[in-house]
Amino acid sequence: MGRLIFSLFMLCYVIKVSESIYQDCGSTLGTLLGLEVSKCKITDARCTLHRNTNSTIAIKFSTNQEIKKVKAIVHGIVMSMSVDFPLPNSDGCVDSGLTCPLKQGNVYTYITQLPVLETYPKITVDVKWELQLDSETVTNKTNGTTEDTSKDIVCVIIPAKIQ
């Protein structure tokens, strides 16, 4: 009985710690179900990203509607400023474990590599990872302005430090 209580306590602790590491930042067309970052322990306050290496990212999610095309966008947030992190492949439907179109209600796992360039400074950063419905830019016929109609399928903030 004591082992069962201890096991339940540890499970709750692990779940609580993992919830505090990653934050959903506005998933609208899907539900974030899980996240794994290579060499990042759930007990770490921040994931350590080593320069001149690649980190494997796996995002598990479900969709609220059919998604024809997926676009991956990554930003580093440093002192409230957003800086693009270039991806070798931003097409979420190619070489990422996803086969598009994504069906409504199904569970998917997006897997990719994040290059941590040697030129990146050694800093604390929040990595904002968005998987978006890849839609076209729409031009307003009345006033000629353009609007990006992309919406987040899932969005997650990963607290990290670059070393």
What does the alpha-carbon distance between residue 47 and residue 40 come to, in Å, rounded to a whole number?
A: 5
d(CA 146, CA 2): 62
Q: Model confidence over 5-61: pLDDT tens digits? A: 333 333 333 333 344 489 999 999 999 999 999 988 777 889 999 999 999 999 999
Q: Which domains does the chain have, with CATH numbers?
A: 2-162 (2.60.40.770)
Q: Give the pLDDT confidence of 50-104 residue by residue, as tens digits.
A: 999 999 999 999 999 999 999 999 999 999 999 998 899 999 999 999 999 999 9
Tokens of 141: 């016929």
Q: How far is CA 155 from the centre of its chain?
A: 6
